Structure 1
Amino acid sequence: MKYFLISLTLLLFGCASFPKKNNLESISGHTPTIINPYFSDLAMDYIYKAKINFADKSFGGIFVIKKMGPEHHRVVFTTEMGNKLFDFSFFKNEFRINFIPSEMNKKILINLLRQDLFVLINENPKILNQYRKMGDSIFIETKLKNNTYFYLTADERLYKILKTKGNKEKSSYIFAEIENDHAKEIKIRHKNIKLTIDLKAI
């Protein structure tokens, strides 16, 4: 009987939703219009020194994100000598590869980059719920392309995005050194996938 109760407890815990597993308290109140402002300025070129590690390969260089118009961004990654490593365009829900070399032209890598970059540039994901955790953090549950993400804010400033599946964290997007709606340092990490992206503003 004891083992049955322990197994049942573990099963129920394992099936719990992400908010329940992390002791998040549902709240209601003001819903922000833009919850991710970091690539929203049409007048600005967002330029970073970047390092992308995928499996056993490492790519370094200059990473540029430019907002071209409403729901329209272009993302270009070059070596420090100016040779393109990739050039992508995002317009609403459309994704276009303008350029990618053969060494990076791997379906799994392209899909991961597409997903990660879309998370970075999307300003207004569909908001489902809001939660609070002990302290000042607000968790905003959202939906992007049928995936669930939690946007973590403190003092109405976004500092982390978590992609989840069920009750588990699948990837994280961390924003630091934030100044005037400009995140000068961004780190992307995946669970169980050998992909890391580090961006530092220059």
Structure 2
Amino acid sequence: MRYLPISLLFLIWACASYPERNNFQSVETSNGSITSPYFSNPKKDYIYKADIDLYKKNFSGILVVKKLGVGHHRVVFTTELGNTIFDFSFRDDDFIVNHVLRDINKKIVINLLRKDFRTLITENPSVLNRFTSEDRFIFETEMAKGKNYYYTIDRKLKKIVQTKNGKKKASFIFSAVDAEVAKNIQILHHDIKLSIQLKAI
């Protein structure tokens, strides 16, 4: 019987939401929107040196993200010699695989990449709740059967955390921000061996 309180506490923690797990404080504010500006300029080609580690494989090359219109982006990843690794189109809720290398042409991998890049290019997600934690202001949004948390400091987006069932699934970290361009972007998955490193060229 002495183990019952510990088991009960573990059960409560396991069922807790992401804000509860991280002791976020709920706040009310009139400034309730969040903008992710890092791929929002249609006049700019966003070009990065990219390294993708997927399980035991590494893919290196050039990633180009281009905004073609409202809600419309194209994401192309090539080797430095110009061979296409993947080429995706995002238009509103539609997703098109224009090309993908055979080595990563698996449904689970495509879905992970789709979700990651959808998160990166989404400019104005709908906000469900707002929180604070230390010097950070956090916006809770809903996306792809889970919730994303946008961490800001002084109104600048520093991090996005993807969650599902209250658990952290992936983190997007933005650094070296200059004129609404994140020169360094790191995507880390916490439950599978997938990481993406982007460095602006």
| Range into which the TM-score falls when normalised by the shorter chain | over 0.9
CA contact (8 A) 2:78 2:85 kept: yes
CA contact (8 A) 2:149 2:161 kept: yes
Count of aligned residue pairs for this structure pair: 201
Aligned residue for 1:87, secondary structure, equals strand
Alpha-carbon distance between aligned partners in 1 of 2:88 and 2:166, rounded to the nearest angstrom: 32
Which residue of structure 2 aligns with residue 194 of structure 1? 193
1:78-124 per-residue CA deviation (whole Å, 9 max, x = no partner) reads 11111111111000000001111212211111111000000000011
Greater Cα shift, 50-59 or 31-40: 31-40
Which residue of structure 2 aligns with residue 162 of structure 1? 161
> What amino acid is the match of 1:104?
I
Alpha-carbon distance between aligned partners in 1 of 2:54 and 2:33, rounded to the nearest angstrom: 34
1:122 equivalent in alignment to 2:122: yes
Which residue of structure 1 aligns with residue 89 of structure 2? 89
1:46 is displaced (CA, Å) by 0.3
Identity of aligned residues (%): 48
1:2 is displaced (CA, Å) by 3.3
Alpha-carbon distance between aligned partners in 2 of 1:103 and 1:16, rounded to the nearest angstrom: 38
| 1:107-118 alignment, distance < 5 Å | 107-118=107-118
1:63-84 per-residue CA deviation (whole Å, 9 max, x = no partner) reads 0000000000000111111111
1:42 equivalent in alignment to 2:42: yes
1:5 is displaced (CA, Å) by 1.8
Any gaps of 5 or more consecutive residues in structure 2? none
CA contact (8 A) 2:145 2:164 kept: no
Runs of 4+ in 1 over 2 A off after TM superposition: 30-34
Which residue of structure 2 aligns with residue 24 of structure 1? 24
1:145 is displaced (CA, Å) by 2.4
Alpha-carbon distance between aligned partners in 1 of 2:23 and 2:77, rounded to the nearest angstrom: 39
Which residue of structure 1 aligns with residue 176 of structure 2? 177
Give the TM-score, by structure 2 length: 0.96
> What amino acid is the match of 2:59?
F
CA contact (8 A) 1:54 1:194 kept: yes
Give the TM-score, by structure 1 length: 0.95
> What amino acid is the match of 1:166?
N
Cα RMSD for the two superposed structures = 1.2
CA contact (8 A) 1:51 1:59 kept: yes
